[in-house]
Each structure stands twice: as structure tokens, then as C-alpha cells.
Amino acid sequence: MIRFFWSPNLLYCLLLMMGTPLHADVYKMIGRNGQVIFTDKPEGSGYHLVIKSNRPAPSAAAPAAVPVSRPRGPSGDIILGNGPRPVAVPDIRAARPQRGGRQLQYARLVERAAEAHGLDPWLLHAVIQAESSYNPQAVSHKGAKGLMQLMPGTAERYGVRDPYDPEDNVFGGARYLRDLMGMFGSDVRLAVAAYNAGEGNVMKYGNQVPPFSETQGYVSKVLGFYRRSN
């Protein structure tokens, strides 16, 4: 079984190996803590098929597979991500958004921003859906603007000149989210909570989701979109 977990470095490996023939279906599941798990042999419910294999029909002339030494965990699973050099994985371009409307309109922009900042594009989609429902002209009662609802101070900090410009906004929001992921050890729940309530509040409450009803509801909403993203 091949199982790997999302990390900022994993996107690089996925992109590096684009075009590699895939000989097994790939399934994805979002864990309760926001951890992204990919596997070729799903165990239990909650997994969704994201990439269909291109396994050729059996042939007597097919060359024998060449064994490759790969790092393995205690359970025998192959480990990808933060361990030694990851093994080849399938082309993630096949797993683009399947929904219509504005999500498809901004799909390529989100992919570019995610690639540039080492993020899962599905996480960016989930944040945008929760923040603005893909409305680039959205303005909150607190003054947050654009697709990723950047506050004026955050926009200034990340060099966003026009928060209503989709590219400027999404790239700025992606930079902010990347920094939050790094700050909280790639914990998606805490990064999302900090995106809503501020990193100071997350640290104030001992690196836990702050006990604010708005923030707790926001985290549940984003992770819900994230789990259903495929």
C-alpha cells in the first residue's frame, strides 16, 4: 500500500513527477484534524477516488517491474512527504475542480498560487469558498475584501495593491496561508483558525482553535469544504 500525507514539500514532488504513468487508482481522504491522506488501497469509508489509473491490459510481453528501494514506516507503508526522497506520484493536474461556475473560472489561478507557495490547491479553494463564495468584489462588515477576504493590514503586509484584483488577492492570501501553515507546523485546523481569528489568538489559547463561536464555525465550514473538494 502506498500512503502519503500532505506537506508543503510534497507539492514539489508531485509536480516534479507529472507525466509518470499511473498503475493504481489514487484515493484521498481528509482526516478530522485536516490532514490530507492519499492511498492506492483505501481502508474503511471516507475515501474518494481522485485519479483513475491508466493500468494497461495484462500482456505476456510486458517488461517486469524493477524493484525500487523506498523508505517504509513501522506498518510497512511507503512514506512520502517529509522523509527521504519521495517516490514518483501521479499527475495532480488530473484532479482539478469538477464543479462549475466561478470555481472553474478561478481554477487555474488557484493552481498557480498553490504551486508558487507550496499549498494544496483544494485548501485554497475551501478558504475562498468560505470567505467569498468566489465573489472578487465581496466586502465584509469588518472591511475584508476580495476572493480571500484580506483585511487592509494583511493586504499591505503581503504587498497586495488591489484586493479586488483576483490574482493580486489570491496570491497575497496564499502567501499569508503559507506562513500560517509554517507557523503552526502544517496543522490545517490551526492555520485556518488563525486565518480567521489571527495568529495571536491561536497562540494565546495554547495553539488551539480559539473558543470563539465565529472561528469555530469557520474552521468547521472550511474543513467541510476541504473534505468534499473532490
Residue 15 has what pLDDT? 41
142-162 pLDDT, tens digit each: 999 999 999 999 999 999 999
| Mean pLDDT on 26-47 | 70
Which CATH number describes the domain made up of 102-227? 1.10.530.10
Pairwise CA distance, residues 132 & 144, whole Å = 10
Q: Which strands make up the sheet holding 26-30, listed edge to edge?
A: 3-5, 36-39, 26-30, 48-51
Catalytic residue ranges: 131
Per the structure block, which three cell numbers stand in for 192? 485556518
Helices (H), the chain: 10-16, 102-105, 107-117, 121-132, 152-157, 166-183, 188-197, 199-204, 213-227
Specify the pTM. 0.60
Domain with CATH 1.10.530.10 in the chain: 102-227
The pLDDT confidence band at residue 40, using thresholds 50, 70 and 90, is: confident
pLDDT at 12 over 50: no
